[in-house]
Amino acid sequence: MNMSNMVVRIGMSMWIALLLTAVAVPAESASASAALDNLIKAYDSESAARAQCVAFAQKADEEGYAKAASLFRASARSLEVRLQHFKRVISKMGGVPKADIPKVEARSTRENLELAMKEEADRNGALYPAFVKQAKEEGAKGAAKTFNGAMRIGTGRSALYGDALKRLEGMKGDAAEYYVCPVCGYLTDSGLFKKCLVCWTPRSKFEAIR
């Protein structure tokens, strides 16, 4: 295993773990609001996830997994929409979004899908529920809603990574079409819907990404 690659990967996972241990601690001063600090942490994490998706799409194309490349491109767009939500709420609360994106070194497409799925699980299964709880305790309704939205959309991305892993050989060949809601970032591989399942945006507004 390439050592620098391992360091980046361990670094990302450790970073999410560190966020989890920090969530219950009151903000130390970046702002008077722990919810705002957590929004900025989430913005940083999802910015890094987006950069990973862009690099993983390129790697999937190089390896001939065109459908996996489509999925990573669509995920990058989904994350971009979520980042816009974070940005708006952070600004509204008087904060400044910041992202320190680590250098991404893609490994095999299988490993990249596994890593993307694990990081979604860390965020949506542990980090965001804790952030939601804290935001509610603080009375920061906008922050709680934003974490809930990110959690719901991220869980959907994670399921698609899982499906791709189950049929990895089938992810070769032609590119696939994925659909992203430009309002909430909901991502689906099914063309059989009339409205966004999360925010009811009509299908005609969805972005088809290959």
Q: Does 181 bind Fe ion (CB under 5 A)?
A: yes
The answer to the question of residue 49 lying near Fe ion (CB under 5 A) is no
Alpha helix (H) ranges present in the chain? 3-22, 34-62, 66-92, 109-122, 128-138, 141-166
The one segment of 6-14, 55-63, 128-136, 199-207 that binds Fe ion by CB under 5 A: 199-207
Q: Which one, 15 or 128, has the nearer CB to Fe ion?
A: 128
* Among 129, 183, 193, 207, contact with Fe ion (rule: CB under 5 A): 183
Q: Is 184 in the site for Fe ion (CB under 5 A)?
A: yes
Q: Which stretch binds Fe ion (CB under 5 A): 111-119, 133-141, 160-168, 191-199?
A: 191-199
State which residue, 82 or 123, has the beta carbon closest to Fe ion: 82
8, 22, 30, 198: which one binds Fe ion (CB under 5 A)? 198
For position 199 contacting Fe ion by CB under 5 A, the verdict is yes
Does position 201 bind Fe ion by CB under 5 A?
yes
Q: Of 61 and 193, which has the nearer Cβ to Fe ion?
A: 193
Is residue 171 within 8 A of residue 108, CB to CB? The reply is: no
- List the one residue out of 118, 190, 130 whose CA is nearest residue 154: 118
Cβ contact 147:127 at 8 Å: no
Site for Fe ion in 136-155 (CB under 5 A): none
Instruction: Please give the C-alpha separations between residue 26 and each of 90, 137, 178, in angstroms, as whole numbers.
Output: 17, 12, 40
8 is an interface residue for Fe ion by CB under 5 A: no
Least distance in Å: CB of 209 to Fe ion? 15
* Cβ proximity to Fe ion, 132 vs 196, nearer residue: 196
DSSP state of 187: E
Q: What is the DSSP string of 23-72?
A: TTSPP-SS-S-HHHHHHHHHHHHHHHHHHHHHHHHHHHHHTT-HHHHHHH
Closest CA to 146 of 91, 108, 109: 91
User: Which residues of this chain interact with Fe ion, rule CB under 5 A?
Assistant: 181, 183-184, 186, 196, 198-199, 201
